[in-house]
């Protein structure tokens, strides 16, 4: 588009960059028109991250643009020295996004964003250059210019843009909008983080990769890149514009959120001149400390903590860390916890209680500055426990300076029950539920039922029963046909009492998904749950797993990653991310997440069985067998799932005799208790006995075996996919 020289403006005594159109092109009307259009387009922008245009003119037959001289180096030169560290990349990328946001707000699409067109000036200031291919909408009331109405292709059929950075719609010559710049941004950010192009190879290879329906390959992004940053790259590089991030402005906000944990709390000046901090948008409620040490009060400390988390999660403006994550910071320094979790505020507390009296000390701390935002001591009768936690939740809302609507205020203030005995029974139920054992789940059901006997309109207790029976059915503690109908009835009763109870919508969705196999009903209930409580990590996890079973892998990964953002230290959510990657056949990536769960807890049985399955399909059979054996050892000899996995791996390893022995053991166990026909079918499939495998799958269908939701995507049944009986089963389940 031209040649650029360093020059001096002798009138104003300053150095500038002078872009000229070479004489050989001056007689080309199309070149001249684009050259002039570049100057007009860029001159409409006045932003620190966009190069400033000083003048445009012609001298001696030479057309020129006089623009700001940016000292420094291009982003291409910076990447040439090696990949950009994540923190530096976020800082630079946020400025690029800001410049794009300003251009898009002015109706300008750059269409040629690439490392060569980004300059890094002094103190890390970013400047976007070269609007020679930009598309500018006409200002309101004005006729569009020739450049504004041109198609994406030139008269000679050449595509405008740079191969490797242009979006699929741009490469096809289709109309483009701001989202095409977001695709290019994703390619640039990928290159910054990895040091290599998002679409490598020559022009033909790069163009083929861009136009292919397959997602961009992000395997080159190093492990030290935060998952949220990697997701931004993935969302920008979506081939379908409708699935990309919505705007450069939102992109900038997300990047700045990634950079905020170490930034000082922002401040604004009130109308009276006083400086005040902005509203805090994320909080971690650390588990209350049982000061007396009486184990009989452990249920109170965890229960009150969870109840406060539940109440605050009702607020769509506030991100609240889940209990399973904050539990790992029990008794830790609040500033250390807050910074590790990346939240703006931390609530800590101590609880002392007897059978009749209660003392709760609560303190809210700014995690970035260490300032005490609020603190209070409550000395109340034990019967007033509900009032205490409600007051704490309301105080947090006030101190974080949220402007609540009337409905939101009523929601926070609404007590799930006014009966202290029912509430204590519910808290004890949650305490046992969180143990995640067969005995714990059964004890939780008994306590929830006691709470309901005291207060039949206690919606949360009904929701607890729904969750407990749902888990009993999915874990085969009870036969699915016995457990899931009870779960459905309890969820419906909870929603009859409180239609806005997000947990109960998710519980109902869980039944629709794993037992009814009613995909539209399940999705509708999941969506309603997450609409009511976007911070419900378990809801995002379940919804992601549901989507994975339908083969909607990218959507599934989006949901499970959202769950992980909300509950970053959850073992089960790490395995859920691993599962979504596993069913997308990205086995090596799934192993990374399973391994992270085991790094946090080497005794986590599900982590061992899940990583074993991924190792099995990535070809590491011997290691897979060892991991299956570890899972069996951790969960006892009756761990059917781990035994099934071990038998599958043995079959692949050629140890047919031992695999058949496990198969015989599982079939004999069916006479004593429910044993998954799905698992038995998988062993027959891996042994090559396809007709037997299909018969057991049909039995799994008749018995409503929950794992059948994975039939469409599970690699253990790949050998059966062309069989008419298998196809018929997929049709019966509406999975074809």
Catalytic residue numbers, as ranges: 112
Number of Cβ within a 10 Å radius of residue 485? 15
CB 93 within 8 A of CB 124: no
- Separation between Cα atoms, residue 189 and residue 86, nearest integer Å: 10
With beta carbons less than 8 A apart as the criterion, state whether 451 and 422 touch: yes
Enumerate the β-bridge partners of residue 362.
349, 376
| 222 contacts 194 by C-beta, under 8 angstroms | yes
Question: What is 420-476 written as a DSSP string?
Answer: HHHHHHHHHHHHHHTT-SHHHHHHHHHHHHHHHHH-TT-HHHHHHHHHHHHHHHHTT
Identify the H or E element spanning 577: helix 571-583
Enumerate the β-bridge partners of residue 108.
Answer: 136
Name the pairing type of β-strands 282-285 and 319-320. Answer: parallel
Residue with tokens 């750059």: 110
Q: Which residues contact 374 (CB under 8 A, 6 or more apart)?
A: 363, 364, 395, 396, 399
Per residue, the 3-state secondary structure of 135-185, as one string, reads EECCCCCCCCCCHHHCCCECCCCCECCCCCCCCHHHHCCCCCCHHHHHHHH
- Cβ atoms of 378 and 363 within 8 Å: the answer is no
* 68 CB burial (10 A radius; 0-12, 13-18, 19+): middle
**Contact call for residues 130 and 42 (beta carbons, < 8 A):** no
Neighbours of 27 (CB within 10 A): 9
CA distance 549 to 69: 55
**Residues 315, 408: contact at Cβ < 8 Å?**
yes
Q: CB–CB of 510/470 below 8 Å?
A: yes
DSSP run (H or E) holding 552: none
Contacts of 551 by beta carbon, 8 Å cutoff, 6+ apart: 712, 713
CB within 8 Å of 609: residues ≥ 6 apart: 627, 628, 631, 639, 641, 642, 645
Burial grade of 53 (CB within 10 A; 0-12, 13-18, 19 or more): buried
Residue 122 makes CB contacts below 8 A (sequence gap 6+) with 71, 72
């Amino acid at each position: 588009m031209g040649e650029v020289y360093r020059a001096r403006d002798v009138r104003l005594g300053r150095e500038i960059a002078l872009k000229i159109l070479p004489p050989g092109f001056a007689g080309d009307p199309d070149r001249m028109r684009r050259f002039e259009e570049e100057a007009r387009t860029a001159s409409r922008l006045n932003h620190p991250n966009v190069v400033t245009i000083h003048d445009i003119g012609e001298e001696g037959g030479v057309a020129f643009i006089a623009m700001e001289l940016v000292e420094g180096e291009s982003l291409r030169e910076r990447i040439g020295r090696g990949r950009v560290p994540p923190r530096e990349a976020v800082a630079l990328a946020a400025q690029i996004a800001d410049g794009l946001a300003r251009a898009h707000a002015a109706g300008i699409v750059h269409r040629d964003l690439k490392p060569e067109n980004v300059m890094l000036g002094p103190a890390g200031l970013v400047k976007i250059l070269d609007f020679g291919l930009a598309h500018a909408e006409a200002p309101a009331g004005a006729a569009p210019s020739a450049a504004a109405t041109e198609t994406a292709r030139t008269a000679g059929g050449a595509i405008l843009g740079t191969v490797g950075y242009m979006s699929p719609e741009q490469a096809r010559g289709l109309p483009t909008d701001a989202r095409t710049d977001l695709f290019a941004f994703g390619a640039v950010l990928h290159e910054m983080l990895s040091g290599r192009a998002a679409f490598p190879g020559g022009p033909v290879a790069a163009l083929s990769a861009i136009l292919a329906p397959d997602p961009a390959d992000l395997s080159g992004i190093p492990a030290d890149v935060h998952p949220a940053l990697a997701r931004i790259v993935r969302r920008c590089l979506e081939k379908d514009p409708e699935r990309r991030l919505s705007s450069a402005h939102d992109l900038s906000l997300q990047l700045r959120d990634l950079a905020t944990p170490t930034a000082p709390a922002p401040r604004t000046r009130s109308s009276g001149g006083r400086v005040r901090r902005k509203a805090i948008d994320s909080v971690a409620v650390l588990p209350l400390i049982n000061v007396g040490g009486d184990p009989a009060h452990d249920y109170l400390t965890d229960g009150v903590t969870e109840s406060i988390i539940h109440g605050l999660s009702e607020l769509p403006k506030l991100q609240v860390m889940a209990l399973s994550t904050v539990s790992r910071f029990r008794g830790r320094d609040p500033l250390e916890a807050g910074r590790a979790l990346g939240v703006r505020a931390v609530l800590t507390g101590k609880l002392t209680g007897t059978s009749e009296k209660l003392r709760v000390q609560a303190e809210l701390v700014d995690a970035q500055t260490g300032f005490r935002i609020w603190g209070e001591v409550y000395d109340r009768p034990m019967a007033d426990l509900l009032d205490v936690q409600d007051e704490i939740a309301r105080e947090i809302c006030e101190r974080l300076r949220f402007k609540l609507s009337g409905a939101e205020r009523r929601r926070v203030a609404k007590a799930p029950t006014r009966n202290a005995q029912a509430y204590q029974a519910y808290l004890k139920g949650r305490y046992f539920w969180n143990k995640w054992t067969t005995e714990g789940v059964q004890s939780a059901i008994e306590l929830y039922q006691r709470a309901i006997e005291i207060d039949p309109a206690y919606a949360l207790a009904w929701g607890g029963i729904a969750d407990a029976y749902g888990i009993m059915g999915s874990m085969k503690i009870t036969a699915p046909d016995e457990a899931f109908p009870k779960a459905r009835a309890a969820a419906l009763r909870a929603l009859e009492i409180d239609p806005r109870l997000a947990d109960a919508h998710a519980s109902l969705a869980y039944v629709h998904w794993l037992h009814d196999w009613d995909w539209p009903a399940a999705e509708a209930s999941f969506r309603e749950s997450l609409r009511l409580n976007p911070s419900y990590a378990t809801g995002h996890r379940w919804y992601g797993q549901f989507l994975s079973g339908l083969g909607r892998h990218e959507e599934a990964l989006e949901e499970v990653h959202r769950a992980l953002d909300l509950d970053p230290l959850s073992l089960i959510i790490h395995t859920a991310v691993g599962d979504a990657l596993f069913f997308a056949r990205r086995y090596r990536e799934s192993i990374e997440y399973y391994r992270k769960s085991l790094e946090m807890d080497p005794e986590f049985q599900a982590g061992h069985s899940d990583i074993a399955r991924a190792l099995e399909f990535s070809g590491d059979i011997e290691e897979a067998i060892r991991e299956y054996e570890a899972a069996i050892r951790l969960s006892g000899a009756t761990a059917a799932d781990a035994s099934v996995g071990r038998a599958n791996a043995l079959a692949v390893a050629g140890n047919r005799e031992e695999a058949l022995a496990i198969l015989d053991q599982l079939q004999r166990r069916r006479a004593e208790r429910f044993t998954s026909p799905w698992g038995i079918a998988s062993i027959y499939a891996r042994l090559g006995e396809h007709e037997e495998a299909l018969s057991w799958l049909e039995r799994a269908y008749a018995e409503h075996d929950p794992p059948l939701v994975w039939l469409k995507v599970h690699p253990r049944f790949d050998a059966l996919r062309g069989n008419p009986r298998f196809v018929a089963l997929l049709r019966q389940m509406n999975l074809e």
